[in-house]
Amino acid sequence: MANISAVLYLVAAVLFILALKGLSSPVTALRGNKFGIIGMVIAVGTTFMIMDKPVLGLIAAAIIGGAVIGGWKAKTVEMTGMPELVAAMHSLVGLSAVLIAVAAIFHTGVEHTPVQKVELFIGAFIGAITFTASVIAYGKLSGRFGSKAVSFNGQHLLNLVLALAMVGFGVAYFVTDSHAAFLAMVAIALVLGVTLIIPIGGADMPVVVSMLNSYSGWAAAGIGFTLNNPVLIIAGACVGSSGAILSYIMCKAMNRSIVSVLLGGFGAEAAAGGAAADSGPKNYKSGSAEDAAFLMSNADSVVIVPGYGLAVSRAQHALQEFAELLHEKGVTVRYAIHPVAGRMPGHMNVLLAEAEVPYEQVLEMEEINSDFNNTDVVLVIGANDVVNPAAQKDKSSPIYGMPILEAHKARTVIVVKRSMSVGYAGLDNELFYMDKTMMVFGDAKKVVEDLVKGVVH
């Protein structure tokens, strides 16, 4: 039985790796999901095979309850709520790691080796930090806690003291096997998860979500050692490492340091910079949806830059209808995606896939930036900070050095916004005041529907 279970766990682990590989592209994402589902079924089934006297009633209730809640949430969640849903999922992974570690500690008749004690300590404190940090991220993304950074004097010193105390109680548990020391370590880690995330502004939440994804993977891997479960170790390591790599990519895309992400508090700088960026009223040009439709229907090439505002207004289907009408008129239409557009990695890709936008029309920043010089019209809809030229021109700007979509190099720029309010990073955008830019004010969905009417008529 041991050999059979080892082989089955290996098959499940390989399927999880193939799932991650498939999820790296919209073209193969469906196949990747299927691999992941099959791998999880094999892993759960194998676990049942090797369990000694499992309490089937409780396990079945947990599985069925989780499946019902998860299925209902997946069916009802709006695209704008996807980022906070992901954060909530991360919190559950972290909480699971903590509960498993506590259960292992209090399991009578089991003596843990020194290596297992270290594994329990690592899995528990990473899980605890992941749990409370994810709850705070959920609150910031959903607007329940506000997106502004919360900072105070001595913040980093407090985090250092908490981290040292957490390690100290972990050492005490290692030396004395004290349950109280272990619980104290977990309690401090729970607090540390809060203090690490509250100083991070909403503009940097995409990086936080990615980093928490990594944390949840490492927590799962740590508990996998405790349970002597190879598939949990492999799956957790895959999630942890891929999340860390993605976080690094996101940091580069936002001109942030990975160290500052780990330490927390990197969002406060952007918020402070945003407050200083307001230099009074500026002149801008505005037009109607009909004007915009005329310009784009008579262009040779159009690049659409989507952002979070597109998701809020649920305008992706109408936008794709508009793009198809332009295509019928001989206009080349493509979509430009910034790595941190939206509120989480891949948010815009999922949004466009939902509207059945052809994959070949969706290009990443590195693929399309060189084409803006030869683009007739750029339609910026719901995006702000990812097209802000200050990132390239204003050394005093908090986002200076951040790679952007170079929409300002196109011949004409059309920006759809509700108002002239600043973006999520709290910074004004000089793109809106350029002579080549026309602002079209209104709800994105209503504006796009008017664009469709303008092309049809």
**Phi, psi (rounded to 5 degrees) for 406:** -85, 55
DSSP per-residue letters across 397-417: STTTT-----GGGSSEEEEEE
Does residue 264 sit in helix, strand or coil?
coil
Backbone angles phi, psi at 136, to 5 degrees: -65, -40
Q: Are strands 301-306 and 332-337 parallel, antiparallel or unpaired?
A: parallel
Nearest one of 124, 131, 126 to 103, comparing CA atoms = 124
Rounded to the nearest 5°, which phi and psi values hold at 381?
-130, 105
| Beta carbons within 8 Å of 376's beta carbon, 6+ residues apart | 299, 300, 301, 302, 410, 411, 412
Contact indicator for 419, 441 with CB cutoff of 8 Å = yes
Contact indicator for 397, 430 with CB cutoff of 8 Å: no
The conformation of residue 442, written as its DSSP 8-state character, comes to S
Amino acid of residue 19: A
3-state SS assignment for residue 440: strand
What's the token pair of residue 398?
Answer: 């908090």
Tell me how crowded residue 64 is: count the other CB atoms within 10 A of its CB. Answer: 10
Catalytic one of 385, 428, 435, 443: 385
What 3-state DSSP class applies to 314? coil
Annotation says 385 is catalytic? yes
Compute the Cα dihedral for 316, 417, 80, 409 and give only its sign.
positive
List of E strands, 114-267 = none
Phi, psi of 362 (to 5 degrees): -100, 115
CA 313/CA 443 separation, integer angstroms: 7
- CA dist 28 and 446 (Å) reads 33
CA dist 336 and 353 (Å) reads 14
Tally of CB atoms within 10 A around 382: 25
> Cα(380)–Cα(301) distance, rounded to whole angstroms?
14
Burial class (CB in 10 A: 0-12, 13-18, 19+), 44: middle
Annotated active-site positions, please?
Answer: 385
